Amino acid sequence: MTLLEDFRSIVLEARPLIDVRAPVEFDKGSFEGAVNLPLLDDNERALVGTRYKEAGNAAAVALGHELIGGAVKEARVAVWAEFARAHPEAYIYCFRGGQRSRIAQQWLGEAGIELPRIKGGYKAFRAFLSAEAERIAAQSSVRIIGGRTGSGKTLLLNRLRGSIDLEALANHRGSAFGKMSTPQPAQIDFENALAYALIRHEAQRHESLIIEHESYRIGRFFIPKPIYDAFLKGVLIVLECPLEERIEVVFEAYVTDLQRRMGERWFEAMLEALERIMKRLGHERYDHVRTQMHEAQKHQEAYGEADKHKIWIETLLCEYYDPMYDYQIERTTLPILFRGDARAVYDFLS
């Protein structure tokens, strides 16, 4: 039975993966292209684990075969086989590359399908990704695009070769209002996705790594400290943009786009986001912005026009986000290499 440990090829070839761990394990973290088709479900895994503690490995294995024999085995092999036929380039893994993935590989072989399994399983592949992400970040020439909220940093970033969109990997726009319509994945999923992106970036031989100026936290995630520290050894490119244009950018992202994604839940989500920064705004300013938001929403519901949302957006930009970012820029240890509008920054980084 084939064992593979060329982890880099899994990333660069975007290999589909069959994860035969239990769902509770998969939910804590997995890899790009992985589908959870467990050998043991959560309840069966718990029963086998208890038997292992009470009577040892042989008794646990015997119970496992008892739980998933007969029709249960046939059903699980059929699901693996269906995926394997659709993705013949797939690999199999479990937590340590031991019994579970070996059994799945053996049963598939008996059904006439040969799929390699990952040596060392999830644990070994995860260790590889973590080490490679730290190495590549440390060796990269990092260019960091900064600028006030709404200056279009993400829009510019996604036009540039050699960029990695950290907010997209985290499924979060990076501010208190940045929660997407779909939830963020697990922290480990974010770290694995970042490692995939860094490995691919290195393989494409870009001269520099371009990222957006971020806190070490993006929503409820954090960038691993060795990687974040490596990013902070880069240089800062400040994107400058007039207030009127920034209001339009924020309006498009947080009103037009999110209303389309979230529907009726949108306004409640905006109020929740505002509440998250209430202490930093102060009660008086919080009440003022909240009133502006309600007036804008009532106007939109009555007349079908959303433009009045630009009023509270301008208030937040001028009275909250701009002073906060200007303070951060004054205190930053990053050397500022260049300042300019979107065209100038694009030309500079291209």
CB burial string 227-240: b at 16+ within 10 A, e below? beebbeebebbbbe
Percent helix, strand and coil across the chain, each rounded to 5?
60, 10, 30
Tell me the CB-side half-sphere exposure of residue 331, using CA atoms within 13 A. 6
Catalytic residues: 94
Closest CA to 345 of 223, 189, 235: 235
Count of CB atoms situated within 10 Å of the CB of 328: 12
Q: Looking at this protein, which amino acid is placed at residue 198? A: L
Closest CA to 183 of 293, 261, 259: 261
Instruction: State how far the Cα of 152 lies from the Cα of 342, in Å rounded to an integer.
Output: 8
Specify the 3-state DSSP secondary structure of 161: coil
Instruction: State how far the Cα of 141 lies from the Cα of 173, in Å rounded to an integer.
Output: 24
Instruction: State how far the Cα of 93 lies from the Cα of 285, in Å rounded to an integer.
Output: 53
Instruction: State how far the Cα of 28 lies from the Cα of 301, in Å rounded to an integer.
Output: 41
Instruction: State how far the Cα of 314 lies from the Cα of 328, in Å rounded to an integer.
Output: 20
